[in-house]
Structure 1
Amino acid sequence: MTIHPAPARVVLLSGPSGSGKSSLAARTGLPVLNLDDFYKEGEDPTLPQLAGGGGTDWDSPLSWDADAAVAAIDALGRTSRTTVPVYDIASSSRVGEEPLDIGRTPLFIAEGIFAADIIGRCAELGVLADAICLRGRPSTTFRRRLLRDLREGRKSAPYLLRRGWRLMRAERGIVARQTALGAYACGRDAALERIAAASAGRCASHEPSPTATIA
């Protein structure tokens, strides 16, 4: 009789841009699916636009291919492998693709600013282990995001400053929206505890996120 391994499950790690998702995901030692690689390309006519001719709104979920992201998560859960795009943020384009194999691990992380938008779909597929929204102080997030984006040359400095100020003002609303979608909002240490619990096969509690002041 052939024994099939249990399907892998996913921890969806969301949070504002610059909140430290990638660093936290790497720290867990688990396989990581980078959901930012599923951005649409710059010439896609369905890309949302900022008001007043400000260009593409890359912080809208409509700038992202949720269907492809969910398909990749489903494939990893069922078969432990998939092919993912390689996205270059500076040029707003896909520059290739690469295989992702998570091996025999029962748990992996999918992280990105739109991860909360697919919580319901992952739950319906039976692959959701937990959903976390990483949060902190908006001023800290602003500095971390700006330094990262300038270092990586993601966009021009004026664009990054304008986007940074806009996102800092909107950060509490971003966290509230992701929490409403089902993510548990917390800081780094609590997030690591929840991921450790999921890795050990324990179900994390989904009580409402505690209220916190993040001035």
Structure 2
Amino acid sequence: MSSQPPIPTRVVLLCGPSGSGKSLLAARSGLPVLRLDDFYKEGDDPTLPRVTGSSDIDWDHPDSWDADAAVAAIEELCRTGRTDIPVYDLSLSARTGADSIDIGRTPAFIAEGIFAAEIVGRCREAGVLADALCLSRGPVTTFRRRFLRDLKEGRKSVPFLLRRGWRLMRAERSIVARQSALGAHACDRDEALDRLAAAAAGRCAATRTAV
């Protein structure tokens, strides 16, 4: 009696506005997680974008992030089950070391971060996409969650957090719209958990999120 071929490992890209609860949802799913925040550029990188009319670095712009390195890590995880990743300290805006992640043989893992939607197309073309989800809880709720989290973790100065929070609250609907246009399915926590369970069982929803 022949054995069934192993189910290939694929990635669920989990995006959404900063503070929407991506990390908590990923942890609750029970799936292995790749933190895409570890692929931010360092604070002295001359290619970092600036907020229009301000000297603040725009950490919410895709150009503040190394998409090529993130995609390479995802593809290696899907192919081999392990990869090396940088360790990034958001409060220092710097990489402070390196680590490795080993997910073993699993049908799916989550790559979560605010820029996950930026690589939906590349992951689909590489044949490694299981699903792409955009988590949204509403601008006011997200603002409160984001500010309290960032304040607790000391990510940036309080004035910076307030400026960023106000800017992101006003832009939240357009952020969700952009991520949806890039191929991420906008949903609440319960629907996201259902789709993550499907991915964990080896059921690929990538074709349903294609654009």
Please state how far the C-alpha of 1:5 moved relative to its aligned partner: 4.6
Instruction: After superposition, give the CA deviation of every residue in 1:115-166 in whole Å (9 maximum; x if it has no partner).
Output: 0000000011110000000011110000000000000000000110110000
2-structure distance, mates of 1:195, 1:184? 12
CA contact (8 A) 1:7 1:79 kept: no
- Residues of 2 paired with 1:99 and 1:136: CA distance? 32
How far residue 207 of structure 1 moved from its aligned partner, in angstroms, is 6.3
- For 1:206, what is the secondary structure of its paired residue? helix
Tell me how far apart the structure 2 counterparts of residues 145 and 108 of structure 1 sit (CA, whole Å). 24
Quick check: 168-177 or 54-63, which moved more?
A: 54-63
Unaligned 5+ residue runs, structure 1?
209-215
Residue type of the alignment partner of 1:198: A
Q: How does 1:108-187 map to 2 (within 5 A)?
A: 108-187=109-188
TM-score by length of 1: 0.92
The answer to whether the 8 A contact 2:16-2:136 is kept is: yes
Q: Secondary structure at the match of 2:57?
A: coil
Give the Cα separation in 1 of the matches to 2:25 and 2:144: 17
Equivalent in the alignment of 2:208: 206
1:206 alignment partner AA: R
How far apart are the structure 2 equivalents of 1:4 and 1:91?
45
Matching residue's letter, 2:12: V
Q: Does 1:192 pair with 2:193?
A: yes
Shift in Å, 1:203: 3.3
CA distance in 1, matches of 2:26, 2:195: 12
**Structure 2 residue identity aligned to 1:71:** A
Give identity over the alignment, percent. 71
> What amino acid is the match of 1:122?
C
Which amino acid counterpart does residue 208 of structure 2 have in structure 1?
H
| Whole-angstrom distance in 2 between the partners of 1:4 and 1:196 | 21
Query: Which residue is 1:57 aligned to?
Result: 58
**Distance in 1 between residues matched to 2:44 and 2:5, nearest whole Å:** 43
TM-score by length of 2: 0.94
CA distance in 1, matches of 2:14, 2:146: 17
Distance 1:159 1:16 in 2: 17
- Equivalents in 2 of 1:72, 1:167: separation in Å? 28
Alignment partner of 2:192: what SS?
helix
Distance 2:55 2:190 in 1: 37
| Count of residue correspondences | 206
